[in-house]
Amino acid sequence: MGGPGGGTEDLPTPRPGPSQDTHDSHDAAPGCASCALSTGGARLARLGLAPGRHDHVVALAGNPNTGKSTVFNALTGLRQHVGNWSGKTVARAEGGFTYGGARYRIVDLPGTYSLLSTSADEDVARDALLFGRPDVVVVVVDATRLERNLPLVLQIRQITGRVVVALNLVDEARRHGLTVDARHLTRELGVPVVPMAARRNEGIPELLAAIAQVAGTRDAPAPLRLVHKDPALEEAVADLAGRVAGQFPGVPNARWVALRLLEGDPGIEAAVRDGTLGELATPATPVERAG
C-alpha cells in the first residue's frame, strides 16, 4: 500500500514550540477491509508514529466530534482546520510542542467508536494504537455522553496503561446540569482523567502536566486484562497468544490479536496469514515502553 510512489515519508524535524504538518495522502487500497494491517511499518511512518527526533509521541484518540482537533490545536498553539480522515483520502494532522524541556510529536487520529474495527478510518486508529506504541494516548471523551465514550476508553486501557483521559466539554455538561466525578473515574480507570473545556482553553495546563507525567514514567499501569470466566477460553487465548508471539516475535498486544483471531476478525486474520503482522512488530519509537 502507500501513496503513489509508495514507501515512507521523511518525517519533518520537530521545531521548538508549536508546529504542525498536515498531509493529504491517498490510501492505495481503498475499502480493503481484509488488508487493514498490510502496510506495516510504512503505514506507521506515515502516521507519524515511527522514530523521529522528538522525545515522546502522543496519539490523540476518541469518538468522532469530541473535540480532538480542538485539543490538538490548543496543545500545538495552532488554529489550522484539521480535516477528518474519510474514504480513500486521508488527511492526517501531526504537530509538535515542547513542554518541560521535552519535545513532543502529537498525531490526531481519526475518530473511532471502537478498536474492533469496521471501517478503514477505524483501522487507521486501531493500527496506530495497537502497533504504533505511542508514549501517551490521550483519549478525548465527551463529558455529556460518557456512556457512549467509555467503551473506547476501556478498549484502549486493555492495550496500554499509558493513557490520559481528556474529559472534554465539561462546559456543556455543566449547562445540562451534569457533573462528572473525575476523581472517581481516575480511580476506576487507573489513569489520569483531566476535566476540560478545550474550546475555552480550560484544563490545557493540567492536560499537559498529565501527558508529561505519563510520558516520563517507566511504571505505567498494566493494561486492563479481561479475565474470562471460562477456563477453556482463557486457556485458548493464552495458547494462541503464545503462538502469535512465537510467530511474530516482538509484536505488541499478542493477547489482543489472539482474542480477535478467536472472534474471526478478517483484517487480523489476513495480517497473520500473509505475515504482515510481523512488519508491525519492530519497536516504533526509541523510548522504552512499559505495559
The CB-of-70 to ligand GTP minimum distance in angstroms stands at 3
Min dist. Cβ of residue 85 to ligand GTP (A): 8
CA distance linking residue 32 with residue 38, whole number of Å: 10
Site for Mg ion in 53-82 (CB under 5 A): 68-69
Which residue(s) pair with 67 in the sheet? Answer: none
The torsion angles phi and psi of 154, rounded to 5 degrees, stand at -65, -40
33 and 120 Cβ atoms separated by less than 8 Å: yes
Cα separation of 30 and 39, whole Å?
12
**Shortest distance, CB of residue 67 to ligand GTP, whole angstroms?**
3
Shortest Å distance, C-beta 105 to ligand GTP: 18
Helix axes 204-216 and 68-76, enclosed angle (nearest 10): 80
Residue number with CB closer to Mg ion (39 or 69): 69
Which residue's Cβ lies closest to Mg ion? 69
Minimal distance in Å, beta carbon 277 to ligand GTP? 28
- For ligand GTP, which is the closer residue by CB, 72 or 131? 72
Judged by beta carbon distances under 5 to 8 A according to partner kind, the member of Mg ion, ligand GTP, none in contact with residue 198 is ligand GTP
- Phi/psi of residue 284, each to 5°? -95, -20
Interface ranges with ligand GTP (CB under 6 A):
62, 64-70, 84, 111, 168-169, 171-172, 197-199
Q: Which does 213 bind (CB under 5 to 8 A by kind): Mg ion, ligand GTP, none?
A: none
* Lookup result for grid cell 474471526: 264
Report the distance separating Cα 39 and Cα 157, nearest Å: 25
Contact set with Mg ion (CB under 5 A): 68-69
